[in-house]
Amino acid sequence: MKLDKMLGIRYPFIQGGMANIATGEFAAAVSNAGGLGLIGAGGMRAEMLRENIRKCRSLTDRPFGVNLMLMHPEADQMADIVVEEGVKIVTTGAGNPGKYMAKWKANGIKVMPVVSSVVLAKLMERAGADAVIAEGTESGGHVGEMTTMALVPQVVDAVNIPVIAAGGIADGRGVAAVYALGACGVQMGTRLLSAEECPIHAAYKEAVLKAGDNATVVTGRIGGTPVRIIKNQMSREYILKEKAGAGKEELEKYTLGSLRRAVFEGDTKTGSLMAGQVVGLVHKIQPIAEIFAEMEKEYQIVIRNLSQEN
Ligand code: TUI
């Protein structure tokens, strides 16, 4: 079954958790456009998450969810808040949500963890996940090692729950490609950075529109947490230091507060402009509803053309 039917939404598209970007207002805009909006808890304090859930609910009657970033120091509190606030769908990232699963399932929450390996996908299935989001290293932000092309079919073969593909999908061709690999839907982040409703600073949006195929790089592959961002002064200095063997503390000087500097201040020199490799496919600012409609139409054309070839 495709993801739109599973979740009761118009399109089989869910929005990536995008820390500091995916507010309650933005998630509601995604849901109102026919996708599944998710409030990105990364970058929020626990009580802010509660306010964003209430705000989102006031702005949409459609299904929405919360993305919990598990490296967050307040993740335990946030795991309780989603239950208290009656959230129905939770996605997780950057860790293993195993310790929260029993409580979430007991409260009727659909849980869809992001995984970057087959091992974690199987673990999540055993823990009671309703679906997994297999995210390739093409993604923006915190990434694993495997590509979407290699990861998705291996996860599909390894589990009996639905698999949603993420990483490297920004148009209808990408949707058709991951369906061919066995996915039932897609998660998108980068394409939505250029949405009219996306609340990032104008300079960040401009950098997304200008970026080409080779614009991103992964910082922190050697010692820390691998994070894909648009190349800039910060990434160049970080990688030089990283290659020179700098310690965690020295490297943290670059990353501390850097996502907030990009999102809120539009600091394109020292900020972390998180974006995936498909950033080179993002060319214009559009309403979310138009992005989704365009992707659906492209997908239909791709499958028609494929079925006519012989
Ligand atoms: O989580 C993401 N993407 C993110 S989180 C984020 S906020 C952040 N900012 C600065 C530094 C670090 C994070 C920005 N982008 N995607 C989902 C994802 N999860 N990708 C990879 C994983 C993952 C990695 C390891 C999931 C589980 C895991 O290990 C599980 C274990 O056993 O602990």
pLDDT by residue (tens digit) across 141-170?
999 999 999 999 999 999 999 999 999 999
* Average pLDDT of the chain to the nearest whole number: 97
**Is the confidence at residue 92, as pLDDT, over 70?**
yes
Supply the pLDDT for residue 223. 77
How far, in Å, CA of 136 to CA of 272, rounded? Answer: 20
* Predicted confidence (pLDDT) per residue in 163-212, tens digit: 999 999 999 999 999 999 999 999 999 999 999 999 999 999 999 999 99
Token pair in block for residue 60: 């949409």
**How far is the C-alpha of 255 from the C-alpha of 235, rounded, in Å?**
9
- 92 phi/psi in degrees, rounded to 5: -130, 160
Q: Is the CB of 93 under 6 A from ligand 1?
A: yes
Rounded to two decimals, the pTM is 0.97
d(C-alpha 181, C-alpha 155), whole Å: 10
Query: Whose CA is closest to atom 28 on ligand 1?
Result: 95
pLDDT tens figures, 236-258: 999 999 999 999 899 999 998 99
Q: How far is Cα 209 from Cα 122, in angstroms, rounded to an integer? A: 37
- Residue 310 — very low, low, confident or very high, per pLDDT cuts 50/70/90? low
CA distances from 29 to 36, 57, 127 (A): 9, 11, 31
Which of 92, 142, 192, 234 to probe ligand 1 with, by most ligand atoms within 8 A of CB?
A: 142
Q: How far is the CA of 184 from the centre of ligand 1 (A)?
A: 22
Q: Which domains does the chain have, with CATH numbers?
A: 3-199+282-309 (3.20.20.70), 216-274 (no CATH)
> What is the predicted pLDDT for the residue at 21?
98
Q: Compute, in angstroms, the gap from residue 157 CA to the centroid of ligand 1.
A: 23
Query: Measuring CA to CA, which residue among 309, 26, 44 is closest to residue 195?
Result: 26
Confidence of residue 120 (pLDDT cuts 50, 70, 90): very high
